[in-house]
Chains A and B, each alone.
Chain A
Amino acid sequence: GAVVSQHPSRVICKSGTSVKIECRSLDFQATTMFWYRQFPKQSLMLMATSNEGSKATYEQGVEKDKFLINHASLTLSTLTVTSAHPEDSSFYICSATREGNSPLHFGNGTRLTVT
């Protein structure tokens, strides 16, 4: 089956620093990648949609200057949380899909803790 690799799985950083999360589709070319955030006991929240070579589309309320998304190739997307604050502490999950009616495949997620 399709595999999406996400790194790191867990990161602790100090307030004010930046953190980069990588998402790779290992065995397929991902035309579209999605970034989600999930707080404890809450639903998935879509943050942004990215297509290779173009700017990401951010959901309402998500600051594009704070959450920088780069989709440099058909197999790699990165999310950088800039100037992180404790309220950014959450579970960040990337996902990827091929074209058409293919399902969404999720990475294992990154648990970010900002101290």
Chain B
Amino acid sequence: QKEVEQNSGPLSVPEGAIASLNCTYSDRGSQSFFWYRQYSGKSPELIMSIYSNGDKEDGRFTAQLNKASQYVSLLIRDSQPSDSATYLCAANTGNQFYFGTGTSLTVIP
């Protein structure tokens, strides 16, 4: 069973703080990893892709991948109320995508 696990939260952070979202995956054959943001009532939106060990930064977002530990994380710096959403972690193995159940983030003004 290929699994992706996330802490469901909810995670609450004050505005301006760093939000840290974590994800683990079970299949060592997974090649690529993605973070999606899903607002209530909307479909998921891709915000980050990461393919190799280390950090990848895009604006206020930083994705981190550690294949040895099978761990992916997403850091959101200077969190804004508009970042309040559910964040989904996904792993791609052989063109099959495995999603975590999502972490609900609330940024408190």
A interface residues (Cβ-Cβ under 8 A, vs B):
1, 31-32, 34, 43-44, 49, 91, 93, 97, 99-109
Chain A's closest residue to B100 (CB) is A43
Does B51 belong to the interface (CB within 8 Å)? yes
Q: Would you call A103 and B34 a contact (CB within 8 A)? A: yes
* Subset of 28 A-B contacts with CB under 8 Å: A1-B46, A31-B95, A32-B95, A34-B97, A43-B99, A44-B44, A44-B88, A44-B99, A49-B96, A93-B44, A97-B97, A99-B95, A100-B95, A101-B31, A101-B51, A101-B92, A102-B32, A103-B32, A103-B92, A104-B46, A104-B97, A105-B46, A106-B45, A106-B46, A107-B43, A108-B42, A108-B43, A109-B43
B interface residues (Cβ-Cβ under 8 A, vs A):
31-32, 34, 36, 41-46, 49, 51, 88, 90, 92, 95-97, 99, 101-102
CB distance from A5 to the nearest CB of B (A): 12
A contact residues around B44 at 8 Å (CB): 44, 93, 106
B contact residues around A49 at 8 Å (CB): 96
Q: Would you call A106 and B99 a contact (CB within 8 A)? A: no
CB distance from B25 to the nearest CB of A (A): 14
CA–CA, A43 to B100, complex, Å? Answer: 8
